[in-house]
Amino acid sequence: MSDRDYREQEDIFSKVVRAGRRTYFFDVRSTKADDYYLTITESKKFTNDDGSFHFKKHKIYLYKEDFAEFEATLSEMTQFIIKEKGGEVISDRHQSNYDPAAHAAKETPLTTSTEDGGVDGKYTDVSFDDI
């Protein structure tokens, strides 16, 4: 493998967002023409009956010519959801130890880490200018 082939596969800049059983990887990579593009990978952990686990991954490739429309649409969609349904994560209600009062007091942004290394699952503002 030549140095150029290796460089094409290497990440230029990466960030990780941990969200419970899901982890999101944001990776800037280089094209053959030496331009940059973004990959967003969702990795979700599944536990088998025997206690072992595996991951399912889904990947999106996002190129610069699509950034503005993608960012605008993502922002519009997330704002719509928060406006219509608020910041509460409905699936939390289905946990056996759900406490509505404690949950209401816990309205914090997605970037707050939890003890298990995850995040509280609220909402984060993504700016593609940071990439």
Is 8 domain-assigned? yes
- DSSP element (H, E) containing 82: helix 67-85
* Model pLDDT for residues 72-122, shown as the tens digit of each residue: 999 999 999 999 999 888 776 556 566 667 656 655 444 444 444 444 444
> Domain holding 40: CATH number?
3.10.450.700
Q: Are residues 21 and 66 in the same domain?
A: yes
* pTM of the full structure: 0.59
pLDDT over 90, % of the chain: 47
Q: Which domain holds residue 51?
A: 1-74
pLDDT at 114: 44
Q: Could you report the per-residue pLDDT of 16-42, keeping only the tens digit for each? A: 999 988 999 999 999 989 999 999 999
Per-residue pLDDT tens for 56-67?
999 999 999 999
pLDDT of residue 24: 96
Number of domains in the chain: 2
Burial of 65 (0-12, 13-18, 19+ CB in 10 A): exposed
Say yes or no: 58 and 113 in one domain. no
* pLDDT for res 4: 52
The angle subtended at Cα 71 by Cα 25 and Cα 76, nearest 5°, is 115
Answer yes or no: do 69 and 94 share one domain: no
Contact 59, 40 (CB under 8 A): yes
> CB of 68 within 8 A of CB of 76?
no
Do 65 and 23 lie in a common domain? Answer: yes
Q: Is position 36 within any domain?
A: yes
Is the residue at 15 inside a domain?
Answer: yes
Same domain for 16 and 53, yes or no, is yes
Task: Say yes or no: 13 and 44 in one domain.
Answer: yes
Residues 34, 4, single domain; the answer is yes
Phi, psi torsion values for 72, nearest 5 degrees: -65, -45
Taking the CA atoms of 45, 47, 48 and 50 in sequence, report the sign of the dihedral they define. positive
| 25 and 59 within one domain | yes
